[in-house]
Amino acid sequence: MAPELARGEILAWLRCDDPKRLERLWEMADQERARRVGDCVHLRGLVEISNHCARLCTYCGISAAHAALKRYRLSRDEIMACARRAFAFGYGTIVLQAGEDPELDSQWVADLVGDIKGTTGLAVTLSLGERAPDELALWRARGADRYLLRFETSDRGLFARIHPPHNDQAVCDRIALLRTIKALGYETGSGIMVGIPGQTRASIARDLALFRELDLDMIGIGPYIAHPATRLGREGAPAAGADQAPATEQMACIVVALARLACPEANIPSTTALATINSAHGRAHGLTRGANVCMPNLTPPSYRCLYEIYPGKAGSQGTPEDSHRSMLETLAALGRPAGQGPGGRRRA
């Protein structure tokens, strides 16, 4: 493992607002990225398979509370067509993401995973929310390779406020669930939103320590983007005083860069949220400040705009071909090759 960054050093970077000094952080993160995971950018085809959600997360535009949102669920055939397209584009991985949709029955998902693996051989990443250990075990047994579940913030009080419990259950302990996911043999991904009202820089320093403690294989970091149809977007919440983390591109990039230094071998995407708050340069900034993965959107165009977790989501108007082309243009401009094969976690 790489030597741990001192907490004081992490906090100093999280509090740094000097563009000249930040150049040094970007450079350190980029060099560490090149040394530890190489120049290739792994492309994971993202398919948003359902926007149904039983949860009431106060930040998320597809939460059950958004009653006016038209809901969809892709059929097995539609998802298989996306998988074939991912294969044709030369991607090594397909990511199936959804709201927490109880109709995505565990056996149906297991059969889908088996069909995708059998037909395309792609690595399969699932991101279907908080699911029961026996379902997670079944999907793993049918060949699912990776599972993504962001813990969003390690501040348990803040998490409970933005992620109200469901069906009279206690607030899910996502950190314990991530340990279960890891024990089942998945490559395990998690991450946070940056700049949630009430989130301090000190709590982000703890998030970074937790990334390392959980030995995450994938770390997704994006700025929080207020959605006017959500409770948090509409009503806001008290900021955490002077130590409140801003929901800016710069702050999200600082966290990406520190995640690379803390967890040098992890796969770190340059997220859609970064590309949303800076449509011209967000994706490239992520890739030159520690990230080594992108997730071009393969969701069929008629459904994309309905997976509106925040407003103005990058790519929500285009086609899979548009997403693919724009991703290759970004990589060409940076002189970075697209990765071949599944692009799993490297270990030193």
Torsion of CA 321, 323, 328, 329, to 10 degrees: 110
d(CA 307, CA 96): 13
Task: Report the residue number, 198 or 264, with the smaller CB distance to ligand SAM.
Answer: 198
Our finding on whether 214 is near ligand SAM (CB under 6 A) is: no
Task: Report the residue number, 211 or 310, with the smaller CB distance to ligand SAM.
Answer: 310
Q: What strands, in cross-sheet order, belong to the sheet with 187-194?
A: 218-223, 187-194, 146-148, 123-127, 93-98, 42-50, 293-294
Q: Using CB under 6 A, which of 26, 58, 104, 129 touches ligand SAM?
A: 129
With contacts defined by CB under 6 A, name the span among 20-28, 82-90, 147-155, 248-256 that binds ligand SAM: 147-155
Q: Using CB under 6 A, which of 227, 260, 289, 313 touches ligand SAM?
A: 227
Q: In the bound complex, what is the minimum distance in angstroms from residue 316's beta carbon to ligand SAM?
A: 13
* Two structure tokens written together for 270: 């340059």
With contacts defined by CB under 6 A, name the span among 77-85, 92-100, 103-111, 337-345 that binds ligand SAM: 92-100
Q: Phi and psi of 39, rounded to 5°?
A: -90, -20
Q: Using CB under 6 A, which of 309, 314, 331, 338 touches ligand SAM?
A: 309
Task: Report the residue number, 224 or 303, with the smaller CB distance to ligand SAM.
Answer: 224
What letter does residue 144 receive in the DSSP assignment?
-
Distance of CA 236 to the CA centre of its chain: 23
Our finding on whether 217 is near ligand SAM (CB under 6 A) is: no
Q: Using CB under 6 A, which of 42, 66, 85, 99 touches ligand SAM?
A: 99
Tokens 């693996």 belong to which residue?
117
d(CA 62, CA 52): 7
Strands (E) across 104-170 are located at: 123-127, 146-148
Task: Report the residue number, 62 or 144, with the smaller CB distance to ligand SAM.
Answer: 62
Size of the site for ligand SAM (CB under 6 A): 19
Tokens 């109709």 belong to which residue?
103
Our finding on whether 150 is near ligand SAM (CB under 6 A) is: yes
Nearest Cα neighbor of 317 from 278, 283, 288, 276 is 276
Q: Using CB under 6 A as the criterion, which residues of the chain lie in contact with ligand SAM when the complex forms?
A: 59-60, 62, 97, 99-100, 127, 129, 149-150, 152, 193, 222, 224-225, 227, 273, 309-310
